[in-house]
Amino acid sequence: MKRAIALLALMATTAATAACSGSGGGAAPGAAGDDQVVLRWSTWGTADDIKLYDGFTRDFEKRHPNIKLKLESVSDYADYHPKLFTQLTSKTAPDVFFVGDDNIGKFVSSGVLTPLEGLLAGPDSKSRPEDFFEGIYGGAKKDGRIYGVPNDTNPEVLWFDKKALKEAGIGENPADLYAAGQWTMDKYLDMNARLKAAGKAGSIFWNWYGSTYSVINGFGGKVWDGGRFVATTDANARKALQTLAKGYLDKTFLSADVLPESNSASTRFLKHDAGFYAGGRWVIDSLRKGGELDDYDIVPFPSPDGKPMPGAVAASYMAINKDAKNAKAAFTFLTEFVSKEGQLLRLKGGGAVPSIKGAEQVVLDGYPQHAQTFLDVRDTGFANYPDEVAVPGLTAAINDELLKVWTGKVPFDRGMTELQKTVDGMTG
Amino acid sequence: MAAIAKAPARPARAGRGVRTRDGWWAGLFLAPQVAFLLVFLVVPLGYAVYLSLVQWDGFGPKTFVGLGNFTAQLTDADFLRAVWNTAKLALITVPVGLVLAVLIAAGLAGIKGSGFYRVLYFMPVVTSSVAVALIWQVILADDDNGVLNSTLRRLGLDGPDWLGDPGWVIVAIAIVTIWSSLGLNVVIFLAGLQTIPPQIVEAARIDGASSARIFRSITLPMLSPTIFFSTVVAVISSFQAFDQIYVLVNPAHNEGARTIVYQVYKLGFKDFQFGMSSAAALILLVLTLLVTLVQFAAQKRFVHYDS
């Protein structure tokens, strides 16, 4: 009898506990409750960046009342991929997630992403494979299969300050020179020298492949060739790196990475202390906060002969977890997120450039004057080299080695030897 | 005779029974802790040893490489730099932190209303390490907002770029570490001071000993077990320093701030080299054990357990 009462009590407790957990209203991640699917997705970004997704989320959930989006964000890009990696290995990763262009190769080769080419070409797709520019698939495409869709892009261009150029006695407009086919590396370096002579910095670069490899391209050099890193041995590439190293040391160029926060790259550019600032469409946000918008415009990186050449395009990819609990809902979200309508909704007012064809009007909103340059660079540009992004940590290691040279901690020749050694060591 | 022989056997059997029952109870109470240790310490440690012998990127197959990961790490310039940075941090924080804590504790022990100061000194210990790091970022910044350098500039001095200069960053980290751990050491030393019998101090005073002499000849020797304990703990925590440094600086951009634990984190979660990462973690474990063993060997000469 006592045993029976105890059993009943246990059953009652269990039922009560279950009822309590049910009354919390929160279905387990990814589980369906009342036919509603909770779709987990993740990205990186500050609180302000994350707010940009609110409009899309509201719109999406209104159109798909059976799908509830749950965003799990990480504020710092550097911390995002380690967390995602840990989640993937422990099978707790979100259904859909962003992957940076420096990590996509690793995730593709690890087989943790759902191949998307069939889904993208299928009847439920709002974003077909051919809607995206080939060059920006980068490491997300392997052996004809698509593992990630570029959610948006940021083509690297040179913002120039008309006022600073004028103060340095430079009458020519870089955008006009580009239009006339005269925007050469020689011309650009000459402008930098004149800016320096006028007491200003020539150019400010962030220490990343977008800037460094664009300058190498501008010298006609090669970074990767036949699966081998040749930037330290290719004559033109080495000359480009040497020019950069010399420029950093004599302050013709400034590395944004090491500028103090109170006198950051944006501040220097807004104060007309520099002629050029290499960046993407995100620079608009800084200029809007404190600059005279009309003082600034954009031009692609110069080429050896003035003819247009491919520029670097920063990209990130949206991918679906191979173990996604709600694969169908995950694809619905992904395809709408990267679709023309989705990008138009997300990218209004600045930040990034659409990765999909047909959403160009979001960029051509009147600012900057040569905003079409963003689209030209995107359409012909390249994401980081697949050989490089396939090796986790390689891009960061290259940047680390180069920063030592830029800051003068290591002499140029030794820096190149160490850079090659690092790359060889990591690529095997 | 037989009855006499049986008589002592009864308590012996009863004793065994008690011991057996006690043993069962002890086992029962210890079981959760043993299970916890097995699941969260022994098994992961065993797995780390296994991983240190293979090449593995976290997803694909594992390739046995023997001691290759250890030799690679022990000859890797980045890892050796991390070991040196960690050693520098310990060499600054342990002596400076402990000397300060002993002096403050000795000072507090003799004043009225020391509770207020104890709370004051202990506050950083209960503050989140991330919050501490963020506050010190503002204090140590080398720009117009940097409290320390702005103050130094007003005094006509030019402070270093504490968080940006690889040569100074360990000093900056040491300052923050000492500040945030000082309170705990002060409380430990205050507890240690309370174990010193006041009559010994009183007797020394009657004999005419000065305060400095009392401190040197009575307080310090009698506090030596506490100092030894705090030294061991401080060295181990310096070797394991990570979270505060990660937020305070950005070790990715400043090689002077890369400690062994950062290297373990980077190799594993940024470079996806789990074999290398595990090897680095085990080297850290061995280093910690060695230093602790040396400390235990040295304590025989410096630590006085008799009153």
Residue A17 confidence class, pLDDT cut points 50, 70, 90? very low
Q: What local confidence, expressed as pLDDT, does residue B142 receive?
A: 80
Does residue A415 register a pLDDT over 80?
yes
Q: Is the pLDDT of residue B291 over 70?
A: yes
Contacts of A260 in chain B (CB under 8 A): 141-143, 161, 164
What average pLDDT does chain A have? 88
The structural domain count of chain B equals: 1
Q: What is the CATH number of the domain that holds B286?
A: 1.10.3720.10
Q: What is the mean pLDDT of residues A107-126?
A: 94
Lowest mean pLDDT among A111-120, A135-144, A159-168, B97-106: A135-144
Cβ separation of A393 and B59 shorter than 8 Å?
no
> Does the pLDDT at position A337 exceed 60?
yes
Residues of A engaging B, defined by a Cβ cutoff of 8 Å: 78, 81-82, 85-86, 88-89, 106, 109-112, 257-258, 260-263, 392-393, 396, 400, 403, 409, 426
Count how many pairs of residues, chain A against chain B, have C-beta atoms within 8 Å. 55
Q: Smallest Cβ distance to B144: which of A78, A262, A400? A: A262
Name the minimum distance, in Å, from the CA of B119 to any CA of chain A: 34
**Comparison of pLDDT for A408 and A26, the residue scoring more:** A408
Confidence of residue A166 (pLDDT cuts 50, 70, 90): very high
pLDDT at B264 over 60: yes
Inside any domain, residue B69: no
d(C-alpha A64, C-alpha A69), whole Å: 10
Q: Over 60: is that where the pLDDT of B237 sits?
A: yes
Helix axes A54-63, A327-338, angle to 10 degrees: 130
Tell me how close the Cα of A106 comes to any Cα of chain B, in angstroms. Answer: 9
Helices (H), chain B: 2-6, 9-37, 43-52, 68-74, 77-109, 114-122, 129-140, 147-154, 169-194, 198-206, 211-214, 220-239, 243-248, 260-265, 274-302
**How close B205 comes to chain A (CA, Å)?**
57
At residue A317, the 3 state secondary structure works out as strand
pLDDT of residue A26: 36
**Does B59 map to a domain?**
no
What ipTM was assigned to the predicted interfaces of this complex? 0.72
User: Lowest-pLDDT range, A193-207, A328-342, A354-368?
Assistant: A354-368
- B140 at interface of A, judged by CB pairs closer than 8 A: no
- Reported as a single tens digit per residue, the pLDDT across B48-97 is 999 999 999 888 889 999 999 999 999 998 899 999 999 999 999 999 99
Interface test with chain A among B254, B271, B273, by most A beta carbons within 10 Å = B271
Tens digit of pLDDT for each residue in A210-248?
999 999 999 999 999 999 999 999 999 999 999 999 999
Model confidence pLDDT, tens digit, residues B174-229 = 999 999 999 999 999 999 998 899 899 999 999 999 989 999 999 999 999 999 99
Which residues in chain B are contacts of A109 at CB distance < 8 A? 60
pLDDT band at residue B302 under the 50/70/90 scheme = confident
Assigned domain for B169 exists = yes
Phi and psi angles of residue A68, each rounded to the nearest 5 degrees, phi first = -110, 120
State how far the Cα of A63 lies from the Cα of A230, in Å rounded to an integer. Answer: 50
Residue A23: exposure state from Cβ atoms within 10 A (0-12, 13-18, ≥19): exposed
Q: Is residue B196 part of a domain?
A: yes
A189 pLDDT above the threshold of 90: yes
Mean predicted lDDT score pLDDT of chain B: 88
Are both A37-155+314-380 and A157-311+393-427 of the same fold?
Answer: yes
- Chain-centre distance for alpha carbon A225: 23
At which residue do the structure tokens 């000859």 appear?
Answer: B75
What is the structure's pLDDT at A286?
Answer: 86
What proportion of chain A, given as a percentage, has pLDDT over 90? 67
Specify the range with the lowest mean pLDDT, choosing from A22-26, A71-75, A303-307. Answer: A22-26
Q: Report yes or no on B247 lying in a domain.
A: yes
B252 touches A at CB < 8 Å: yes
Search chain A and give the residue with CA nearest B138.
Answer: A261
CB atoms B58 and A110 under 8 Å: yes
> What is the pLDDT averaged over residues A85-105?
92
Kindly indicate the confidence band of residue A400, based on its pLDDT and cuts at 50, 70 and 90: confident
User: What pLDDT score does B306 carry?
Assistant: 65
Helix axes B114-122, B169-194, angle to 10 degrees: 140
- Residue at B153 is within a domain: yes
| Model confidence at A358: pLDDT above 70 | yes
Question: Which residues contact residue A39 at a Cβ distance below 8 angstroms, ignoring those fewer than 6 apart?
Answer: A30, A67, A68, A69, A70, A95, A96, A326, A329, A330, A333
Per-residue pLDDT band at B5 (split at 50, 70, 90):
very low
Please give the radius of gyration of chain A, using alpha carbons only, rounded to the nearest integer.
25
Distance CA A213, CA A224 (A): 10
> Per CATH, which fold does A157-311+393-427 belong to?
D-Maltodextrin-Binding Protein; domain 2 (3.40.190)
Two tokens at B44?
């992961």
Which sequence spans correspond to the domains of chain A?
37-155+314-380, 157-311+393-427
CB–CB of B271 and A392 under 8 A?
A: yes
Residue A9 has pLDDT above 50, yes or no: no
pLDDT above 90: residue B129: no
Please give, rounded to a whole number of angstroms, the shortest distance from the CA of A227 to a CA of chain B.
Answer: 19
Whether B138 has its CB under 8 Å from any CB of chain A: the answer is: no
Average pLDDT over residues B6-11: 46
Mean pLDDT for the stretch of residues A167-191: 97
pLDDT of residue A252: 97
Using an 8 Å CB-CB cutoff, list chain A residues near B272. 85, 106, 392-393
CATH architecture of the domain with residue range A37-155+314-380: 3-Layer(aba) Sandwich (3.40)
Query: Which are the contacts of A64, defined by CB distance < 8 A and separation ≥ 6?
Result: A329, A332
| CA nearest neighbour of A75 among A102, A48, A52, A101 | A48
Structural element, H or E, at residue A117? helix A117-121
Q: Distance between CA atoms of A387 and A32, rounded to whole angstroms?
A: 41
Query: What is the tens place of the pLDDT at every residue in A284-335?
Result: 988 988 778 999 999 999 999 999 999 999 999 999 999 998 999 999 999 9
Record the tokens describing residue A422, joined without a space: 């690092």
Expressed as residue numbers, the domain containing B208 is: 78-302
Question: In a 3-state reduction of DSSP, which class is residue B30?
Answer: helix
Alpha carbon A69 to chain centroid, angstroms: 23
Cβ contact, residue pair B141, A81, below 8 Å: no
The runs of H, that is alpha helices, within B42-168 are 43-52, 68-74, 77-109, 114-122, 129-140, 147-154
Q: Which residue has the higher pLDDT, A382 or B281?
A: B281
Q: How far is CA B148 from CA A359, A414, B137, in A?
A: 50, 36, 10
Assess whether pLDDT exceeds 60 at residue A2: no
Amino acid, single-letter form, for residue B211:
S
> What's the half-sphere exposure (Cβ side, CA atoms, 13 Å) at A166?
6
**Res. B255: pLDDT tops 70:** yes
Residue B12 lies in a domain: no
* In contact, A94 and A87? CB cutoff 8 Å: yes
B135 within domain boundaries: yes
The answer to whether residue B22 scores a pLDDT higher than 80 is yes
**Structure-token pair, residue B74:** 């022990």
